[in-house]
Structure 1
């Protein structure tokens, strides 16, 4: 069981999702005695999103472990510089190098099925005459690309309740890479059709992470919540 000074687990969701993507992982963690926070990431820009998550981390008294799924991995790579962050856990995520963008990391490898399933929609930007661009997944393609091993009814709900990612986030370079100074763990979803699993492996290997592989879709925390909770618990015990 966790000790009284056990870290708070902060769950950082990715693109095309929201904090409800952790709906099955949260009870796994709370039943093991962990305090959990699952904030809503704005999904507007890497720098802005990381700043928001960093503010959440600063509001927590005591140590924190950041768990980032997908794009959330890029966010925790930057936000993880906060002093009370004691570890990073990447779930089918982007582990960026300092000075590297999502587009640059992803561009080193063949496209996944996601590339042909994206739709681009303009949105108004306050104080600017130029619109931004939201990126989302064609709802009809979402279950196969994102969630082929998730309950089909739930996958359909997720498809129509996406939280888009602003295109700007793909191009912004990470100003820091917290994995250089914080212990890190990575989970590869080997049946991932959203991120090429080789992107995950490459980033984790480069960072020298402890890695596990799970035969899962991109939404590993919904299809294999116990496996994810095991990895988080391992991280907690390792920093203990």
Structure 2
């Protein structure tokens, strides 16, 4: 190797190491705060795993994730695929087993509640469940069944075929005109319009696939009921929460409570974390 090539390689390696020296401490500071990683006594603070629901993505948890990190909790936001209850459950189970260590608090919003209910027992490190305007199915329940199966889906959804879909399956998008009041109530019009444009669809089959496991029968749970929810009726939320023997708080919030009432959602998660670790 010529001296010029050796000098060039040295410069590149040195620059790369310098970049890593800048990036790595920053990442560690966010993921693992050094001054407040313990809750009561000597118990390590659990990792909070946040699972979004249909027609949303991980950014819907941003205000809550920020507050939890400020309180010293490690936080992960799982990218829920929204492809089917069984496959979404398998994805979360693999995510927990390979991407977390130590105690975990699982938090689900809306359809994400069904996913955490089915996945929680796959990892013995999961200590509690927190539901936010969420579905809490028992074995054999489906999302549409819990909603009572009423209403005309053609009036609510746009149907979009997707490659490789099983016969009769489609992606469901909430109609843009309905999205702001129905799904994103309580948010400023520009934000709700942005969320409507960026909504992630869920498959029809995910809403009709029976639940297999009811982790709430084994694990303690907490539930935030959004009393202004226009997607998942508050009475249905309350019924599921009571069946699961959850610790219940009722908040004057629409379906996206983690965006409109992040303080209340964060407080409930911290309550669950402190009670179980």
- Tell me the TM-score normalized by structure 2: 0.81
The total of aligned residue pairs comes to 236
Q: Which position in structure 1 is the counterpart of 2:218?
A: 181
**Correspondence 1:107 to 2:107:** no
Q: Which position in structure 1 is the counterpart of 2:66?
A: 27
Residue 102 of structure 1, CA deviation:
1.1
For the 8 Å contact 1:114–1:195, the answer to whether it is kept is no
Residue 156 of structure 1, CA deviation:
1.0
**Correspondence 1:229 to 2:231:** no
Q: State how far apart, in whole Å, the 2-side matches of 1:34 and 1:157 are.
A: 29
Q: Which position in structure 1 is the counterpart of 2:46?
A: 7
For the 8 Å contact 1:114–1:193, the answer to whether it is kept is no
Q: Pick closer, same or farther for the CA change 1:25–1:9 going to 2, 3 Å.
A: same
**Correspondence 1:138 to 2:178:** no
Instruction: State the 4+ residue runs in structure 1 displaced beyond 4 angstroms.
Output: none
**Correspondence 1:83 to 2:124:** yes
Q: Which position in structure 2 is the counterpart of 1:74?
A: 114
Larger relative helix fraction = 2
- Tell me: higher relative CO, structure 1 or 2? Use CA pairs within 8 A at least 6 residues apart: 1
- Tell me the TM-score normalized by structure 1: 0.93
Q: Which position in structure 2 is the counterpart of 1:39?
A: 78
Q: Deviations over 1:5-25 (max 9, x none)?
A: 111000000000010111211
Q: Pick closer, same or farther for the CA change 1:115–1:133 going to 2, 3 Å.
A: closer
Alignment map for 1:116-127 (pairs within 5 Å): 116-125=155-164
Q: Which runs of 5+ in 1 are unaligned?
A: none
Q: Which position in structure 2 is the counterpart of 1:51?
A: 90
Q: Which runs of 5+ in 2 are unaligned?
A: 1-35
**Which protein shows a greater Rg?**
2
Alignment RMSD (CA, Å)? 1.8
Q: Pick closer, same or farther for the CA change 1:114–1:203 going to 2, 3 Å.
A: farther
Q: Deviations over 1:147-196 (max 9, x none)?
A: 22112221111101011000011111111100000010001110000111
Q: State how far apart, in whole Å, the 1-side matches of 2:154 and 2:102 are.
A: 40
Q: State how far apart, in whole Å, the 1-side matches of 2:217 and 2:59 are.
A: 30
2:134 aligned residue (93, 100, 103):
93
